[in-house]
Amino acid sequence: MIPLRLKSECDRSLAPFVVRIATGEPQGSSDAQLVIEEPNRLGFQATDGDFHIHNIAPTEIDGDVLLVDPRRQIAHRLIRAGSPHNTFLITEQCDQLCVMCSQPPKAHHEDMFAYFLAAARLAPTGTCIGLSGGEPLLHKKELFDFIEASFADRDDLSFHILTNGQHFERDDLPWLRKHRSRLLWGIPIYSDDPSIHDDIVGKPGAFAQLTQNLSLMGLAGAAVELRTVVMTPNVAGLTMLADFISRHIPFATTWAIMQMERIGYGRMNWARCFFDSSVDFKELGSAIDLMRARNQDIALYNFPLCTVPPAYRQYAAQSISDWKQKYLAACATCQLRSRCSGVFEWYRMEDGFMEIHSQ
């Protein structure tokens, strides 16, 4: 598992600061220059303060953007220069309680937008940064201001924002239209049956609000990636959901059907919610067939290729972020490994897919 938090040392009296790691010549005042290289310990000079990082090689963090937290003696890797999977956790607050949530909500919110803006300004050219939560739009004004400021400084950046879709308003239309070419909104929908959707997200009336706001997204011309986690409570209705999406949300860029993560509430509810698509792909196949017949894009996220019938493997994406991805012993000799998502770090064979094997 790739570490996103590194042990660091610096003067505890310093305020937190954002730097870009430079193992060679610094490119600007925000770069931290490598000045000490010892076994398991690197020393850096930076405008805001000198610091050390432990247990990582210089080549692994060259170009990374770090948030150095002197009080906690931790350096957070906000942007890894060599990875396409960089996400800012906007908040851990949320107004839904999804049964499979991998990031259970917390009441406390720590405003990190100033640090995120500093990091975005230092990101590699053409970076797409994920914005996640919790529910980012619980802090909509601050979020929109952050995006505006980022775009004002960097015309090459884009954002992929995960949101439950509950907090858009008609007054947001001008802003959504203004930035529609550089924002992709990942929005979950779990069933065309309002009661099933609302039960999964733990919020009465959520489906009605979601569909109303998806209509606003359509009016704005926003790029929308619909997301559906396949589970025992909703798998029987996937084909009906496909029909609903194709008729009522035809502007969606992609419909992503996702397998569960065994962490957070997903771990707590695994036994009753995990659906083993490796032994029963019929409903998934039917939903995919309907969407393709109606010329709408579809993708499978978090599905190891060996759990997907060959006819549908073209839709399986390498979707698991590299920092939480692993492969099993059976994957070592698999000819499909180079284009397979693998499984999550916290996946367990004893209660996972029954049919997972080398191809």
One DSSP character per residue, 27-74 reads: -STTEEEEEEEETTEEEEE-TT--EEEES--HHHHTT-EEEEETTTTE
Continuous H helices in the chain: 58-61, 113-121, 140-153, 173-178, 194-201, 206-220, 238-248, 265-268, 270-273, 282-293
Please return the burial class of 284, using the count of CB atoms within 10 Å of its CB with bins 0-12, 13-18 and 19+: buried
Domain covering 87-351 in this structure, CATH number: 3.20.20.70
> Percent of the chain having pLDDT more than 90?
96
CA dihedral 34, 37, 43, 45 (to 10 degrees): -30
Write down the pLDDT at residue 26: 85
For 291, phi then psi, to 5°, come to -65, -40
For 58-84, how does the pLDDT look when each residue is reduced to its tens digit (9 = 90+)?
999 999 999 999 999 999 999 999 999
Give the amino acid at 89.
L
Write down the pLDDT at residue 6: 97
Write down the pLDDT at residue 287: 98
As a whole number, mean pLDDT of residues 341-359 equals 92
For 158-183, how does the pLDDT look when each residue is reduced to its tens digit (9 = 90+)?
999 999 999 999 999 999 999 999 99
CB 94 within 8 A of CB 133: yes
As a whole number, mean pLDDT of residues 193-211 equals 98
Considering the entire predicted model, what is its pTM?
A: 0.95
List the domain boundaries for the chain.
Answer: 5-79, 87-351
